[in-house]
Amino acid sequence: MANGFGSFYVGSSGLKNSQNALNTTANNMANVNTTGYVRQQVRFSDKHYITRNNPTAGTNIQQSGLGVSVSDVAHVRDIFLDKSYRQENGRKGFYSTLYSTTSYVEDIMQEMNGAEFKESISELWQAFQEYGKDPTNSTNQNLIIQKSELFLTRCNTVYSDLQKYQSNINLQIKDQVDRINEIGDKIYALNLEIQKTESGGVETAMTARDARDSLIDELAGYAKIEAEEDSTGYVRIKLEGQQFVQDNKCNHIGLTEEKGTGFYTPYWPHITTQESYMPVFSDVALPSALAERVGCTQTTNIATSLNNDIGSLKALLVSRGSEYGTYDFMSEENYSRVEDNVVMETQAEISYLARNIMMAMNDIFCPNTTYTAADGTTYTVLDTANCSVGADGSLPPHELFAREGYDRYTQMEIDGKQFYVYNDETKANNSSWYKLGNVSVNPKLAAQVTLMPSYKQDGSANYGLADQITKAWSAENLYINPKDTSKCNFEGYYDKIISHLGTNGSIYKASSDTMTSTAAAIDNQRNQIMGVSSDEELTNMIKYQSAYNASSRFITVISQMTELIVQLI
């Protein structure tokens, strides 16, 4: 114990530090349920000592302490657990978003105004079966028209619903980019506030640090980040490998908008030039128009092994896809652009199924053959020798599924003979494609069903159409995608679409559940360090209150002793 009045310093330091510890403990108790609050912990250290003897002497140097002081109020966190949690939280956001998207697409595919999409396929097949029994019966012909219209309507409705969902995802992408930019601005402002508060080396900006750490945790759910704090308390953040929060500003993410689809693509305005376009996600396919404009051929390439399956924003971009899916994306050379893009791939599958049904039926009612002209030119023409005709017996016959404003044939004279030349699909003219939104049931047949090609050219009923339709409908010559190894028929193709969605959904759900559990486990470990325990804080409060009372009694005793000594003197 210090001699003389030095004892008052000891007692005084005990009072002050116990009071500070009580204040800190009370603050912890008050914020026990506050989201993002980090427990504060008082750390004590010795005050200066009074040394009476020569420190170099071989005898006791006789030091007297002047009590204790609060050396620090620690902001209790573990940077390694923070880093692990943020990475796993990003993965959870990625797979949870993919699972949510896949589940919604499954709902669109299986339920539409109370009727399953598959019913329209089955009903169309039943209509063709009835038609095959008597192709000249107007009731059967009318049933074909009705069920074909119903099939196209449901195909277009599903396709349209998927487009609307893409638009919904697109808005979510914009909202998340806006939120990311907002978070970046807030982190930058908090960085300045923390530096200003802590620059004197006396006070720690606890509330600002808690708010900043909570924002960084949220940011990690949107995209892959790297956060590093320097000795001044300033945190610099990289997002997807690029500088996001810097010393002097926050580099906002920009959005390009495609004219046709309205799809947004995040990019970095601060490093994008006319010569070089810098997307935020270099591993996600760009919309084709944008890719062509910037001279980029990138495709989606995301995998756990690449450590890039992180962030809900990336998952939204992957789910939405880069454009609207069409049947031509199911080819081997184009499939990579829709693979793993849940919405876009489903659109392409529906479009592919509808196209194959339309083409198969049209080729039965209006069969084609080839003719090589004298000059060596090969033409695709109507097979007039084997085609059926309507009740009026005229050529060419009417196809069941017609392209809007684009006739199936053009009459042409070749080598002195009259031919009906097939108007083939061309890339330069979208209206020439047999695709959803561009095809309807032939309006001439809808207006007069007896024009349906159901007769042989001698005027008798063509019962052979039934065998051709049955063979085309049951033929197993479709693959769900180029990676599929088993063929299926039209109805089996739909089952494979649902199965494919279900498989992907199960994978995403399992991954989401795993990432959620992992993130929760790490967060529990963090909370054991930085979380507030009411039992522990109550124990500390009793301890510091007792220490305060002891210091008070100590000062009282020293005061009485000093008073007695003065009186005796």
| DSSP secondary structure string for all residues of 331-342 | STTTGGGTTT-H
Give the C-alpha separation, 430 to 313, whole Å.
32
Which residues lie closer than 8 Å to 261 by C-beta, 6 or more apart?
166, 287, 323, 324
Say whether pLDDT at 384 is over 70: yes
Say whether pLDDT at 58 is over 70: no
- Would you state the structure tokens that stand for residue 186, as one six-digit string? 């807030």
Whose structure tokens read 């992992």? 518
Whose structure tokens read 């399992």? 510
Give the C-alpha separation, 63 to 1, whole Å.
9
Give the C-alpha separation, 167 to 27, whole Å.
47
Which residues lie closer than 8 Å to 471 by C-beta, 6 or more apart?
none
Q: Which residue has the higher pLDDT, 380 or 341?
A: 380
Give the C-alpha separation, 324 to 11, whole Å.
77
Which of 179-188, 226-235, 404-413, 489-498 has the largest mean confidence?
Answer: 179-188
Handedness of CA 445, 449, 454, 460 (dihedral sign): negative
The model's pTM is: 0.82
Query: Residue-wise over 261-283: b if at least 16 C-beta within 10 A, else e?
Result: bebbbbbbeeeeeeeebebbbeb
pLDDT class of 298 with cuts at 50, 70, 90? low
Q: Classify the phi-psi angles of 381: left when phi > 0, otherwise alpha if psi is within -120 to 50, otherwise beta.
A: beta
Give the pairing of strands 242-245 and 409-414: unpaired
Whose structure tokens read 């914020």? 31
Give the pairing of strands 264-267 and 254-257: antiparallel
Task: Report pLDDT for 111.
Answer: 59
Contact yes or no for 224/238 (Cβ under 8 A): no
Give the pairing of strands 225-229 and 235-239: antiparallel
Which of 26-30, 81-85, 148-152, 547-551 has the largest mean confidence?
Answer: 148-152
Among residues 323, 318, 327, 333, the alpha carbon closest in space to that of 349 is found at: 327
Which residues lie closer than 8 Å to 16 by C-beta, 6 or more apart?
none
Say whether pLDDT at 277 is over 50: yes
pLDDT class of 408 with cuts at 50, 70, 90? very high
DSSP string, 494-522: HHHHHHHHHHHHHHHHHHHHHHHHHHHHH
- Would you state the structure tokens that stand for residue 372, as one six-digit string? 């090589």
pLDDT class of 71 with cuts at 50, 70, 90? low
Give the C-alpha separation, 190 to 131, whole Å.
74
Helix (H) or strand (E) holding 382, with range, is strand 378-382
Task: Report pLDDT for 1.
Answer: 42
Which residues lie closer than 8 Å to 304 by C-beta, 6 or more apart?
none
- In 8-163 the beta strands, taken as DSSP E runs, fall at 40-46, 49-51, 63-65, 68-75
Average pLDDT in the 260-286 region?
88
Contact yes or no for 105/342 (Cβ under 8 A): yes
Handedness of CA 219, 224, 225, 226 (dihedral sign): positive
The CA R_g of the chain, rounded to the nearest whole Å, is 38
pLDDT class of 429 with cuts at 50, 70, 90? confident
Give the C-alpha separation, 101 to 111, whole Å.
16
Q: Which residue has the higher pLDDT, 57 or 306?
A: 306
pLDDT for 215-241, tens place per residue? 999 999 999 999 998 888 899 999 999
Task: Report pLDDT for 529.
Answer: 72
Query: Residue-wise over 308-343: b if at least 16 C-beta within 10 A, else e?
Result: bbbbbbbbbbbbbbbbbbbbbbbeeeeeebbbebbb
Whose structure tokens read 């349920």? 33
**Mean residue pLDDT across the chain:** 86
Average pLDDT in the 135-162 region?
93
Give the C-alpha separation, 430 to 483, whole Å.
27
Helix/strand/coil for 261: coil
Average pLDDT in the 508-527 region?
89
- 437 burial type by CB count under 10 A (0-12 exposed, 13-18 middle, 19+ buried): middle
Q: What angle do CA 260, 266, 268 make, to 5 degrees?
A: 130
Which residues lie closer than 8 Å to 262 by C-beta, 6 or more apart?
167, 170
- Would you state the structure tokens that stand for residue 472, as one six-digit string? 């085309």
- In 216-304 the beta strands, taken as DSSP E runs, fall at 225-229, 235-239, 242-245, 254-257, 264-267
Task: Report pLDDT for 54.
Answer: 60
Task: Report pLDDT for 20.
Answer: 74
- Cα 560 to the center of its chain, rounded Å: 73
Helix/strand/coil for 63: strand
